[in-house]
Amino acid sequence: MTEGLKTAGEHDATAMQVVMIGLGEEKFALDAGLVREIIDPVPVTKVAGARSFVPSVINVRGNVIPLADLRIRFGMQQVDNSADTRIVVIEIEIDGEPVLVGVTADKVYEVTEISQANVQQTPRVGMHWKPEFIRFITKWREEFVIVPNMERILN
């Protein structure tokens, strides 16, 4: 067998299953294991005294869940929803308990695999996001994508 080529039964041990989302010009890869569903935007209810990056809650099939805006958390420019806007419902662990959180995405691209073999160091300067919010940066289709640490971002 030619080195570097995989047969249909082989699997890249460094691959990670992700849901690719966009926020503005930035691409993020959410660990597919965290994603519970992807829904169209729904009415939001503002919560007085809530943290700025989780300003509201939504109703998802009778469950009230917080809605996070990563743009605020990353210091990005706010924009109105578009036809491509979606809410990605994820399940993360907070204080040892599983918690559902909605995350607004400007666009959801696809479920795919990314390689952890091409991991890049998170730059300390010139970024919208704090390095502690980033698990790692890698390449997808010749573009850099950010794999965020959702537990740190939302805690």
Q: Is residue 34 part of a domain?
A: yes
- Please give the tally of structural domains in the chain: 1
Q: How far is CA 66 from CA 51, 54, 83, 100, 129, in A?
A: 11, 6, 22, 8, 21
**Domain encompassing residue 86:** 15-154
CATH number for position 132: 2.40.50.180
Q: Is residue 80 part of a domain?
A: yes
Residue among 111, 80, 85 nearest 17 (CA): 111
Q: Is residue 5 part of a domain?
A: no
d(CA 128, CA 4) in angstroms, rounded, equals 36
Q: Is residue 1 part of a domain?
A: no
Q: Is residue 96 part of a domain?
A: yes
Q: Per-residue pLDDT tens, the chain, 155 aa: give them.
A: 334 434 344 456 678 899 999 998 889 999 999 999 999 999 999 999 988 899 999 999 899 999 999 888 888 888 888 999 999 999 999 888 999 999 999 999 999 998 777 676 665 555 556 778 888 888 888 888 889 989 888 87
